[in-house]
Chains A and B, each alone.
Chain A
Amino acid sequence: MFVLPWLIGLAVFQLGPMIASLALSFTRYDLISSPVWAGTDNYARLAQDPKVARAIGNTVFYTVLHVPLAIVLALALALMLDRIGGRGAGVFRTIFYLPSMTPYVAVGVLFLFLLNGQAGMVNQFLALFGVEGPQWTTDPDWILPGIVLMSLWNLGSTTIILFAALRNVPAELSEAAMIDGAGSWARFLRITLPMISPALFFVLIINTIASLQMFDQVYAMFFGNQVTQQSSGDAALFYVVYLFQQAFQFLHMGYASALAWVLFLVIALITFVQWRVGGRLVHYEGGERA
């Protein structure tokens, strides 16, 4: 009985729409008229659509850059937080988490200004060192790196998870290693990293999934209105943005459903592979393995 409300919510708001979208992915459906059975046409079309290939390329490029950078930076921030004690600790934790409270759309618009190639603060900063910065928001070669840069603004959740994991590393392990002559790098590599590996594994999975589903900030930056839509072409076309365009701009809801299911399967596959590979690398204190 306790889980009944959750089960009802799951059925109505998650499983129901998922099953419906699976069914719609085999139809031609424009949201207005009744769906017409199309067999596997949408999936066949998807395999030949050059924009899908471009969107996958952009999304994978972003994921490959964003996920390791986000985890390394968040770990660095978490290590810094872990060293701060006393009254200042709470203040710094709050400050580190604050960017995560900023709405995604606001972040997108803010970074359009910061990354502007002619007047943005990023290039002004680079100019201090004599570097002529690129046109982050208008040069197709630099749009994705610019988006990765923007994505590193929001590391609060990852930082807090890793920070909590660091707090749980038993101090006596480090002390024992120190007595045995281990240096700080060796202690980090041999003790800290294995002890926080379940948390690292968790943030790896959730960051990968979030990256593959990237939408809000990119949409606000490059697709939010007619002028921004024209400014980047397909250089900022992420998979979910293309899915949204097909569903609500071009009214191809059947095709968009097929796109959504392919994304779901790809994410499931990547997560499975990560789980299998990660299971061998993650240290669980109780000896359990994934």
Chain B
Amino acid sequence: MGFGLPDEIASVRVDLFKKANPQVTVNINEGAFDEQAFLSAVAAGNPPDVVYLSRDRIGSYAARGAIQPIDACVSRESIPTGDYYPAAQAQVKYGGSWYGIPEFYNSVVLIVNDKAAEDAGVDPASIDTSDWDALGRLAEKMSKADGGRIERFGFNPKLPEFLPLWAKANGADLLSADGRTAALGDPKVVEALRYAHGLVERQGGWKRLKAYVDTWDFFGGENPFVKDQVGMMLSEQFLVSSMAGSSPDVGITVLPFRDRRGEPVNYVGGNAWVVPKGARNPEAACRWMKTMTAADTWIAAARARQDKRAQEGKVNIGTYTGNVKADETIFGEIVRPSGRKPFDDAVKVIREVQPVGFAVPQSAAAAEFKKAWEDAGTRVLLEGQAPAEALEQAQAEAQKAIDEAGS
């Protein structure tokens, strides 16, 4: 459940599992993870053996027993958990136990539209996000509007989605490491939201900008960088990967997002395999999780991707697996420079920021916690609520949810 076979990265790994486990019948219910279907299946005692979902959901499900701890599986199958990036490991653990095996590792980078930078009179490679005053001025310079009609969004800070990144850049975390104490009212979080909101306001306000963003074709050949619709944007690296396939000639520069001290900072995410409560075949589920995320499996899939892209004459910026060992081989031996500087440089930047990845810690009320700070961001952006007031409200909502879920 929650998985699909859209490309060779999925199908090669599934084939390897089937080959190694011919006695196991694999039925993949293709499609996005559906929480209603998942919970109904668990409640009815008829869940799938293994489920694929976003890692940030794990805390809520683990706390309520909807998914099983897999410590026994990890030790029985000798799953090399140390191979996964620390931030990915932290996302699949709850209360000291393993509840999932991580897959993929999405890093956030700054993508600059070279034309917009040129129009603003700056060298894209010189853009430094640690200087917030200069960043604000540049965002304004890159913006273009004709009356009420936006023609270019200078800098999309991706609020409220990336509030944890802005807070981290300002030296704050939204939640304590043990997931029990919300810190949404921290003055540094308030300052980060106020600044990022100010960026949006000086470019025309979120009501107009959001409507403009909704018209973008993010993953097609007419993406916002090709169409000069955006000056700079924070994004997961898969957008760069998509552009490598759809618009290899696009003029972009990929940079690390730097905190106010000038250090790279990276808000990571990805998916995970978990075993629901009541799964009938947890042993096979365990072998599945191990095989799908093992370094050798990833390497085989990455080779297939490289071969396919080479045959098609397309740029391949590699697969970011969540497995450190696999990534070392993929980027050391398989992914070769394409000759397209923006993408070859992008690979270096993405690899550079991977070790500094962080994620919001898991909590028993992960879903409510996320909703609380997202809603706070939306109230600030759309309803004009003051950042301090919005985050104070979110802090109360989030802490109440955490306390109730933990009681």
**A residues adjacent to B (C-beta < 8 A):** 30-33, 112, 116-119, 132, 135, 137-140, 226-227, 229-235, 244-245, 248-251
Closest 3 CB pairs of A and B: A233-B378, A117-B211, A138-B210
B23 at the interface (CB under 8 A from A): no
- The proximity string for B residues 349-383 relative to A, scoring 1 for CB distances below 8 Å and 0 otherwise, is 00000000000000001011001001101110011
| Secondary structure class of chain A's binding surface, majority of residues | loop
Known A-B contacts A116-B214, A231-B210; A132 and B148 likewise in contact (beta carbons under 8 Å): yes
Interface positions, chain B 35-63, Cβ under 8 Å from A, are: 35-36, 39, 42-43, 60
Specify which chain A residues have a CB less than 8 angstroms from the CB of B383 in the assembled complex.
Answer: 140, 233, 235
A140→B210 CA distance, assembly (Å)? 12
B155 within 8 A of A: no
Interface size counted on chain B using CB atoms at 8 A: 35
Q: A230 is contacted by which of B35, B36, B277, B374 (Cβ under 8 Å)?
A: B374
The total of interchain contacts (Cβ-Cβ below 8 angstroms) comes to 92
Q: In the complex, given contacts A33-B65, A118-B208, A137-B214, what are 11 additional A-B residue pairs having Cβ atoms less than 8 angstroms apart? A: A32-B39, A32-B43, A116-B215, A119-B215, A138-B382, A232-B378, A234-B375, A245-B371, A248-B36, A250-B367, A251-B60
Is B195 engaged at the interface, CB distance under 8 Å to the other chain?
Answer: no
Contact A31 B377 (CB under 8 A): no
Residues B111-164 near A (CB distance < 8 A): 148-150, 160-161
Contact of B382 among A226, A233, A248 (CB under 8 A): A233
Question: For residue B375, which residues in chain A have a CB less than 8 angstroms away from its CB?
Answer: 233-234
**Which A residues are in CB contact (< 8 Å) with B382?**
138-140, 232-233, 235
Whether B211 lies near A230 (C-beta < 8 A) is no
Docked complex Cα distance between A93 and B36 (Å): 38
With a cutoff of 8 Å between Cβ atoms, the chain B residues found around residue A117 in the complex are 207-208, 211
Q: CB-CB < 8 A to A250: which residues of B?
A: 60, 365, 367-368, 371, 401
Point out which of B65, B150, B368 has the most chain A C-beta atoms below 10 A from its C-beta. Answer: B368
Contact of B161 among A116, A140, A230, A232 (CB under 8 A): A230
| Option from A30, A231, A249 in Cβ contact (under 8 Å) with B371 | A249
Report which residue of A235, A250, A251 has the largest number of chain B beta carbons within 10 angstroms of its beta carbon: A251
A170 to B277, CA, bound (A): 65
Known contacts A118-B212, A137-B214, A140-B382; A32/B277 CB under 8 A: yes
For the complex, give the distance between the alpha carbons of A157 and B369 in Å. Answer: 42
Closest to B35 in A: A248
Closest A residue to B60 by beta carbon equals: A251
A238 vs B383: C-alpha distance in the bound complex, in angstroms? 17
Bound CA–CA A117/B149 (angstroms): 9
The distance in angstroms between the C-alpha atoms of A255 and B221, with both chains bound, is: 46
A112 to B210, CA, bound (A): 12
Give Cα A173–Cα B60 distance, bound, in whole angstroms: 67
CA distance A249 to B212 in the complex (A): 29
Contact in complex: A231, B378 (CB < 8 Å): yes
* Given A232-B378, A233-B379, A251-B39, also A135-B208 (CB < 8 A): yes
In the complex, which residue of chain A has the Cβ closest to the Cβ of B278?
A: A32
